[in-house]
A and B are shown apart, each in its own frame.
Chain A
Amino acid sequence: MMAATASYPRRWRAPGLFGSPGRRLAFWAVVLAYLAWSLSTLNIDTARVLAGLPRAWTILERMVPPDFSRWHLLLTGMAESIQIAIAATIAGAVFSVPLGIAAAANLSPRPLYLAARAFIVVGRTFHEVIIAIFFVKLFGFGPVAGLLTLAFSSAIFLGKMLAEDIENMKPGPVEAIRATGASFGQTFFYAVVPQVLVKTLGVLIYRLDSNLRHSTVIGIVGAGGIGQTLSASFTRYDFDFASAILLTIAAMVAFGEWFSDWARRRLR
Chain B
Amino acid sequence: MTAHQQPPRGTAPARTYPDRWERYSPRERIVHWLWLGGIALAAAWSVSALDIEWAFFADAHEQAVDLVERMWPPRWSYLPRIVQPLIETLHIATLGTMIAVVFALPVAFLAARNTTWNQGTWLIGRAMLVLSRSINTVIWGLVFVAIFGPGPVAGICAVAARSVGFIAKLVAEAIEEVDAGQVEAVESTGATTLQVYGVAILPQILPVLIGTTIYRWDINVRESSVLGFVGAGGIGLLLYASINQFAWSQALVILIAILGIVIVSEALSAYVRSRIV
Q: Which residues of A contact B (CB under 8 A)?
A: 1-6, 8-9, 11-13, 16-17, 31, 34-35, 38, 41-42, 44-45, 48-49, 52, 55-56, 59, 79-80, 82-84, 86-87, 90, 121-122, 125-127, 129-130, 133-134, 137-140, 142-144, 147, 213-214, 216-217, 220-221, 224, 227, 230-231, 234, 237, 239, 246, 249-250, 253-254, 257
Contacts and interface: CB of A to CB of B under 8 A. Distances in A.
A214 B143 CA distance: 17
* Size category of the binding interface on chain B: 35 or more
B43 interface: yes
A129 B138 contact: yes
Interface stretch (B11-19, B26-34, B48-56, B74-82): B48-56
Contact of B51 (A31, A129, A143): A143
Contacts of B130: 250, 254
Nearest to B54: A144
Interface in B228-277: 229-230, 233, 236, 239-240, 243, 255, 258-259, 262-263
B136 A147 contact: no
Contacts of B240: 133, 221
B255 A220 contact: no
A60 to B, nearest CB: 9
Interface in B114-128: none
24 contacts: A2-B106, A5-B105, A5-B197, A9-B197, A12-B199, A41-B88, A48-B148, A48-B151, A49-B153, A80-B50, A87-B43, A90-B39, A121-B263, A127-B225, A133-B243, A137-B243, A138-B56, A139-B60, A143-B51, A144-B52, A144-B53, A220-B139, A220-B142, A234-B146
B68 to A, nearest CB: 11
A139 to B, nearest CB: 5
A151 to B, nearest CB: 11
B147 to A, nearest CB: 4
Contacts of A231: 142, 230
Interface in B50-75: 50-53, 56, 60, 63-64, 67
Contacts of B230: 220, 231
B60 to A, nearest CB: 6
B222 A44 contact: no
Contact of B147 (A55, A121, A134, A257): A55
Interface in B182-213: 194-195, 197-199, 202-203, 206, 210
B49 A8 contact: no
Contacts of B136: 213-214, 216-217
A42 B138 contact: no
Given A16-B206, A249-B135, A129 B94 contact: no
A83 B50 contact: yes
A38 B97 CA distance: 13
B199 A130 contact: no
Among all A-B residue pairs, the 6 with the closest Cβ atoms: A253-B134, A87-B46, A52-B148, A83-B46, A2-B106, A250-B134
B180 interface: no
B226 A8 contact: no
B226 to A, nearest CB: 4
B186 to A, nearest CB: 11
Contacts of B84: 41
Contacts of A129: 138, 226, 229, 236
A127 B49 contact: no
Given A86-B46, A230-B142, A250-B135, A11 B225 contact: no
Given A12-B202, A126-B255, A137-B243, A6 B147 contact: no
A220 B138 contact: yes
A173 B195 CA distance: 55
B91 interface: yes
A201 B18 CA distance: 34
Nearest to A37: B91
Contacts of A127: 222-223, 225-226
A220 B153 CA distance: 20
Nearest to A139: B56
A122 B56 CA distance: 26
Given A3-B106, A31-B98, A214-B136, 17 more contacts: A4-B194, A5-B109, A6-B103, A11-B198, A41-B84, A41-B91, A48-B148, A56-B147, A80-B49, A80-B50, A86-B43, A86-B46, A87-B47, A125-B262, A126-B259, A130-B239, A216-B136
